[in-house]
Amino acid sequence: MSSMEMANLSLADPFTQTITLHLADGTPMDVPLVELDEFMLYSVRMCINYASQIGASLVLLVILLLLTKPEKRRAPIFITNVLSLALVFIRNILQCLYFTGPFNNIYAYYSQDYSRVTGKDYGTSVAATVMTLLLLICVELSLLLQIRVVCCTLSKLHRTITYTTSIMVATMAIAFRLALCVENSKAIVSLTYVSNVEWLDNASNITTSISICWFCAAFVTKLGFALRQRRQLGLDRFGPMQIIFIMGCQTLIIPAIFSILPYLVNFPGFSSHVLTLVSIFLPLSSLWASASISNRTQPPGGMKLRQELLNNSAMGSSGPLVNGKNVHGPLSPTNTTRSMTSNTTLISPGHHDYHDIGGRDLEAQGLKDGHKAWVAK
């Protein structure tokens, strides 16, 4: 068969043709167009994945800072919530910088020529994987603080068992993530693909999921018993405790689904949502519960209007009638009475709230066959 006939056959489907790139020394390198399409599609999907997390974390961070009362902004739970959202935002910005930087250049990727990658680009990729470690530490610390609050009414034995187990699962998750961070950073700097770290990625994913499920399960169980006791006492009105219970179940189930899906479907970036979802759900539950408490403590419309009228009559220039006469100025303490009501504020899992891994973490970083180990994490 002549070369002309072969060319005509190859162009029968132009979408599957092969393009030729040339190395620096002039050596030709054939790249299938289909493979190039997959490379570009992967990059676009990953950027969409990280951009969605950037938007969600930034919006909630702004709302949290605006709606939280000043006296609550020094609480440890509030600080960990804010730090978690800020780290989610920074981490995903750094991830996007990898896909828009020289590491992801088509020629550099296929020719393995990274001579134009600067030290700043290496630092960006290493910083991204470190941010994931710091985010996990913030999330685990927040969950520990909330377990401490929720279980304070348990017996000493049960409280000790719960605290010890919580510290163990949190430490295990952080330890595996730290090991993965070190190995990934070494691979980034040395420009090598380390295939034997996949087990470490799986271990980090599993231990992180177990820790989140443990904390949320403990929290939901304790709240479930409390809600059952309230229902037996006739206190079945929907309120902050029910809100926190709902958000606890949500934080237990949804991140677990996202950590399992990468093993079932081939979609990059799924597991990168696990820590992001937990970081979002925790302050969100706090905001919802706080809004519910505010609505419950406000009097109904008619009573509120009556209180305003009484306040205006008591403090105005023309005072209320006493013994048939109009008294100017406020009444003296001996002529006035006040009824005091005590409001009980429930602790929510966002302020005393309880508070990855793209076809798994390796894929979210680009650490998969065909993608290099120095992709940012």
Q: How many CB atoms within 10 Å of residue 287?
A: 19
pLDDT of residue 282: 83
Residue 293: per-residue pLDDT: 57
Q: Which residues pair with 29 in a beta bridge?
A: 21
Contact criterion met (CB below 8 Å) for 88 and 276: yes
Beta bridge partners, 21, equal 29
What pLDDT shows up at residue 213? 86
For the chain of 377 residues, list the mean pLDDT of each consecutive stretch of 10. Answer: 52 81 88 91 93 94 87 86 94 94 90 89 94 94 84 82 91 95 91 80 91 84 74 67 69 79 79 89 74 54 44 44 41 37 36 37 40 44
Check residue 5 and give its pLDDT: 55
Q: What is the pLDDT of residue 225?
A: 74
CA distance 212 to 207: 9
Measured distance CA(362)–CA(372) in Å, rounded = 10
- pTM value is 0.72
Pairing of the two strands 325-326 and 321-322: antiparallel
